[in-house]
Structure formats: C-alpha cells, structure tokens
Amino acid sequence: MIKLPPISLYIHIPWCMKKCGYCDFYSYVSKTNIPEREYIKNLLKDLEKDLKLINQRKINNIFIGGGTPSLLHNESIKILIKGIKKRVLISKHSEITIESNPKTIEYKRFRKYKQSGINRFSLGIQTFNSSLLKKIERTYNKKEAIEAIKEIKKINSNFNIDIMYGLPNQSLNNVLSDLKYAVKYNPTHISWYQLTTEPNTSFYKKKICLPNENIIFKMFNQGEKFLQKSGYIKYEISSYMKSKYKCRHNLNYWNFGDYIGIGCGAHGKITKINGDIIRTIKNKNINDFINGKYLDAKKLIAEKDKPFEYFMNAFRLYQPIYKKDFQERTNISIFEIKNKIKKALKHKYIIENANSWETTKKGKIFLNSLLKIFLN
C-alpha cells in the first residue's frame, strides 16, 4: 500500500454579477434569484459521494472559489461550512479561504463569513486604477477596492490580494502604482500575474490589444524587484508571501497533493490506495447539478503521463523538488525518468542534487520547453 498524499477540498460557486472579458473560469451570470440553499444542499451531497474515494483522510484546507463566492449570503456560508464539518474530519489548523469581490454588498458580509469559520480572504482587486477596471470589465472602482481591503483588515489579518499586469493600455507606472497600493495595506500574500487572453474568452475573440513583450518584461522585472524590496518572498511563479503565509491550498496543488472538487465544473484529483490517480470533473449544467447529476467525467491518469502531470505543478515552485516526493506522489521510480532528467540537465533547465532537483532561472524562463521534455 502506498503513502497517500495530503488532501484539500475545493468548492466551486459558479455565479458572477458579470462575466469579465478575460475570464475563462466556469461561471453563470446572475445578479438575482441565485438558488443558494438548493445548491449548497447538493454541494454537500456531491461531497458525500466523493468521500467514498478518499480512504477516510482528513481534509487539510478548504478553498471556496468561483465565480464569485461572496455573492452568497452569510447564512449560506454558515450552512456550507457546518455541513462539511459534519461529514468529514477537518484539520484543526486548516486554512479556509473564500474568494471575494470588492463590491460593497459583498464585503459587508466578511465579518459574518469569519464567524462561520472562514480564516483567509482572497480579494480579486486586479488593479486600483478605475479606468483600467472599466477596460477589463470589472464591476467596482478604486474606492470600493480600498474600502474592501480596509474592511478585511479590521476582522482578519490573513488575506491575499490578486493583482494583474499587462492590461490593455497599461503603463509601467500604472503597474508600480498598483503594487504600491497593494503593499501599503500589508496583505500576507499577493498573487501578481500577467493578463493573458484565452481562446474561449471575449477578449480573445475581440483581439484586445495588450502591451508588447518588451513592455511586459520591464513590468515583470521592476514589479518583482519592488515586491522583494517590500518584504515579499516569491515562492511560486506568480505568488509572493510575507513570512510563512503561503496559500496552503494552492501549495497542495503544486506539490501534487490530492483535492476533492465539488460544485458545477469543479475538478478533483484523488490517489487510490493501489497507486492509481484519478481526475474528476463535475457537471457544468446548473440544472442537472441541482437535480443530483454531479459527476461529468472520471479519468485515470496513465502511468506514462504521471511525470508530466507532476512536474507541470512542481516546476512552478521556488523550492527543491525532492526525489522521494516524486516517487511517493506518482508511484514511479526516478530511474524511469532518468533520460528525461538528463535532457533537462543538458539544457541547464534544472540542477540535480543527491536528494532533489531544482529549476534554474533559465528553466523558469523557458518553463514550457522544460515541460515538453516530460511529455510523451
């Protein structure tokens, strides 16, 4: 019997007030008449079905994402958290995160969320520039963004701010101004990432013009230097933390841990006691989901694909990748990937130590090329 990895829980809340032009996450646009209680009742039933797969493991962390989870009323979140704790063991020191939007109607709910057990908030600010917020089709302005941060700081010290760079017509000064505002409010974590346009988004279809590569490179270099000078430690490609405040749920993804995914369109990854790894995808149709049709697909990860799946996550991190962890999480011997490792070493994408590998600066820059080595 293999050593099973730690496991987290991801909960997808699919509703948004407006679909942003760059967003490719699964969501429904709905400002009113959200069937909250019915959806939560089925979320808990969905969880019950997945618990049969996890071999009585304790849930380490919970992440409520979307969509816009902060559209849910206080009582709904309370029922959800209470229902989860009735059905599964939760680690005593678990991190329970909720993604939130800085609209007044939503951030006024934060205190009640905290009372229900939420102990980490993730605010999707994206930019503090009201003009740029309009361009990327967000539903709030700079003032509301700042008020939301202030509200969180009153009730919870552990919070993340999401910021993007490379927005339409964004200047280098705009980027640095956003980071200065973010740092001013001393969040424990900053997710700072480049805007890209995915094929199934309206921005892609409209061929929205984004800054060129040279400007993006300057934004990245100067922005990263500023964050590091401000005391933020980079531990993943787009994640910066104060002290030890890593996002535990995301860290579990990147370390190839397991996670249950419940809710419309949610993805999961579960390791079985025989070493098989399965991925689950839940039904994207809200009506079908509420009528009890939860599972859309369940797929076994082929042995030949496991190294790529593992390194696709692990190479994102700024930390050693331990050979023992690779073998435990994939149930594959490192001797089976020795030729691929040799190729990565030859290109100087990684360095090898007695017990671990580490991605070089070149490997991080050419991450896609590095990952292609592990593709079959």
Residues 61 and 140 in one domain: yes
Residue type, 121: F
Tokens of residue 45, six digits: 């039933």
Please give the Cα distance from 307 to 329 (Å, whole number): 10
- Asked, for residue 121, whether it belongs to a domain, the answer is yes
Nearest-CA neighbor of 282 among 299, 257, 261? 261
The verdict on 239 and 317 lying in the same domain is no
The pair of three-digit structure tokens given for residue 188, joined into one six-digit string: 């424990």
**pLDDT at residue 240, as a whole number:** 98
Residues 245 and 310 in one domain: no
Domain contains 129: yes
List the chain residues with pLDDT less than 50: none
Q: Are residues 21 and 162 in the same domain?
A: yes
Residues 217 and 82 in one domain: yes
> Is the domain of 122 the same as that of 30?
yes
State the Cα–Cα distance between residues 97 and 91, nearest whole angstrom: 14
> Among 232, 252, 272, which residue terminates a domain?
252
Q: Where does residue 130 rank: exposed (0-12), middle (13-18), buried (19+ CB within 10 A)?
A: middle
Same domain membership, residue 312 and residue 173: no
Residue at a domain's end among 237, 252, 267: 252
pLDDT value at position 17?
A: 75
Are 204 and 81 contained in the same domain? yes
Position 281 in a domain:
no
What's the CATH number where 349 sits?
Answer: 1.10.10
Please check whether residues 117 and 47 belong to one and the same domain: yes
Q: 11 and 121, same structural domain?
A: yes
Residue 74 maps to a domain: yes
Between the alpha carbon of residue 162 and those of residues 127, 300, 302, 336, the distances in Å are 8, 33, 34, 39
User: How many whole angstroms separate alpha carbon 220 and alpha carbon 89?
Assistant: 41
Please check whether residue 286 lies inside any domain of the structure: no
Output the domain CATH number for residue 14: 3.20.20.70
DSSP 3-state of 113 = helix
The total number of structural domains that make up the chain: 2
Which residues span the domain enclosing 109? 7-252
Q: Which residue has the tokens 């839940």?
A: 282
Q: Among residues 234, 215, 216, 214, which one has the least CA distance to residue 224?
A: 234
Same domain for 102 and 219, yes or no, is yes
Instruction: Tell me which of 211, 234, 252 is where a domain ends.
Output: 252
Q: What is the DSSP string of 315-333?
A: TTBSS-EEHHHHHHHH---
Indicate if 13 and 100 belong to the same structural domain.
yes
pLDDT tens digits, one per residue of 179-223: 999 999 999 999 999 988 777 766 666 678 788 999 999 999 999
HSE toward the beta carbon, residue 375, CA cutoff 13 A: 6
Among 32, 30, 111, 33, which residue's Cα sits nearest to residue 66? 30
pLDDT at 354: 96
In a domain, 178, yes or no: yes
Report which DSSP code applies to 336.
G
> Which residues have CB under 8 Å from 68's CB, separation 6+?
13, 15, 16, 17, 27, 99, 100, 101, 106
Query: CA nearest 188: which of 229, 160, 167?
Result: 160
Residue 318 counted as domain residue: yes
CA–chain centroid gap for 304, Å, is 26
- Tell me how far CA of residue 85 lies from CA of 44, 48, 52, 58, 82, in angstroms: 10, 12, 16, 11, 5
Give the residue from 260, 271, 263, 270 showing the smallest Cα distance to 61. Answer: 260
Domain contains 226:
yes
Beta bridge partners of 8: 259
